[in-house]
Amino acid sequence: CVTSDVQAACRDTTVTQELLKEGFHRDLLVKVELGEDAVGCAVAARTRLPPAIYVDPYELATLQQHNLTKAVLIPDVADVEAPEYLATALDLVLYLEVDSGCSRCFRAAVPVHARYHRPTEGSQQTLVVLESPEVLLCCCHSHLAAECWQPAEVGAPCSAENIGPCQWHSTTHRPAPEESVLEVPVGLKEHSSLVCALTLLTTLLCASLILAATCRHGHFS
């Protein structure tokens, strides 16, 4: 009877992941419902962000200063200007808060951004799939069911404020009913000549206007 209860608890742990808003700038919302109560435990979700998606470290720091989200990037630096084909993947550890009205429900959100891709032929968008996150639990009382929770392979910081390592445990859970897919607009290779010509003309026009204004209004000794 105890074994069946433990197995049921393992199966009942669920995670959902949603990309809110439209365009290049989105919000990643993660919701977890545990199969057992986790009173006194810290709950986090560890997500692998592909090179096509990034979290702005400066924006994240500002949000954390205002206590609007709690998360850690691994590594903690990211080139926000790099295109997708020059970027690297990131690990995001998102610390979840208890959802009101449900002691086993946790949620958190963080802004994410899409990177520019190389121009393609025949398609004006590319699809970026976001993997289902790993559910992490850190409990001081260590009363976790051994059948459900195993020590996490990669150590994560204790919290966004305390970057020291903690003993986190991860669990297998029911996969999300739908994958999180981000549609990223991309340019077409056949438009390259037109884009380059317009960019050059715009640059020359702006430079001419700046030069004319400088000559007209500038004070030269």
Does 161 share its domain with 84? yes
Tokens of 93: 């550890």
Span of 26-30, 162-166, 189-193 with lowest mean pLDDT: 189-193
Is residue 1 predicted with pLDDT exceeding 60?
no
Mean pLDDT of the chain: 79
Residue 197 lies in a domain: yes
Does 6 map to a domain? no
Average pLDDT of the residues in 35-47: 79
pLDDT band for 57, please (50, 70, 90 cuts).
very high
Residue 181, pLDDT score: 77
> Looking at the structure, do residues 109 and 208 belong to the same domain, yes or no?
no
Task: Establish if 8 belongs to a structural domain.
Answer: no
pLDDT above 70 for 141: no
Mean pLDDT of all residues in 60-71: 90
* pTM recorded for the entire structure: 0.75
Confidence of residue 11 (pLDDT cuts 50, 70, 90): low
Give yes or no: residues 76 and 158 share one domain: yes
Give the CA dihedral 154, 159, 162, 167, nearest 10 degrees. -40
Residues 70 and 150 in one domain: yes
Question: In terms of domains, do 165 and 192 share one?
Answer: no
Structure confidence at residue 27 as a pLDDT band (50, 70, 90): very high
- Flag whether 22 is in a domain: yes
Q: Residue 187 pLDDT > 90, yes or no?
A: no
Q: Are residues 146 and 82 in the same domain?
A: yes
Tell me if 90 sits within 8 A of 84, measured CB to CB: no
Greater model confidence, 193 or 202 = 202
Question: 135 and 212 share a domain?
Answer: no
For residue 98, the enclosing domain spans: 14-187
In 10 A of CB 148, how many CB atoms?
A: 22
Residue of higher predicted confidence among 112 and 137: 112
pLDDT for position 94: 93
- Same-domain status, 194 and 170: no
Per-residue b/e over 69-83, b at no fewer than 16 CB within 10 Å? bbbbbeeeebeeeee
Of the CA atoms within 13 Å of residue 74, those in its CB half-sphere come to 15
The pLDDT-based confidence of 107 (bands split at 50, 70, 90) is very high
Task: Tell me if 82 is assigned to some domain.
Answer: yes
- The angle at the Cα of 162, spanning 94 to 72, to the nearest 5 degrees, equals 30
Q: How many domains does the chain have?
A: 2
Strand runs labelled E in the chain: 14-20, 25-33, 41-49, 53-54, 71-74, 90-95, 97-98, 105-114, 125-130, 134-139, 149-151, 156-157, 165-166, 169-171, 180-185
Burial of 127 (0-12, 13-18, 19+ CB in 10 A): exposed
